[in-house]
Amino acid sequence: MSNRKDVGKFLGYSFAVAQHAVDSVWSWGFRKMRGAKGKPAPEPKKKDGKAKGGALSKVKSAGKEIVSFLGEVGDSYYDEYGKLKIKEFKEKKK
């Protein structure tokens, strides 16, 4: 019986570590996405060296806005999720 309990604790610990790793990767990704907006898109160039402001430039700009927004959503999610987990942990200790 004790061996079964130890295996259960080990599996629970392993799942928690795996979940934490996944959360860390997602959080890192969201931070990177949020920072994407701050980097200016390189201007596409014509053969003569002059910049052209075409559809591709607009698509890149819109893409950066979307990625940055998703990064903000992810950051907000993990901030709130962390607060809720802390609150839950404190309530369980009572």
> What would the pLDDT profile of 40-86 be if each residue is shown by its tens digit?
555 555 656 555 567 777 888 888 888 888 888 888 888 888 888 88
Q: In 3D, which of 61, 43, 63 has the Cα closest to residue 53?
A: 43
- Domain residue ranges of the chain, discontinuous segments joined by +: 2-93
Decide: 38 and 72 in contact? Cβ < 8 Å: no
| pLDDT at position 52 | 58
Phi, psi of 85 (to 5 degrees): -65, -40
| pLDDT at position 18 | 92
Give the 3-state secondary structure of residue 89.
helix
pTM of the model: 0.55
Give the 3-state secondary structure of residue 45.
strand
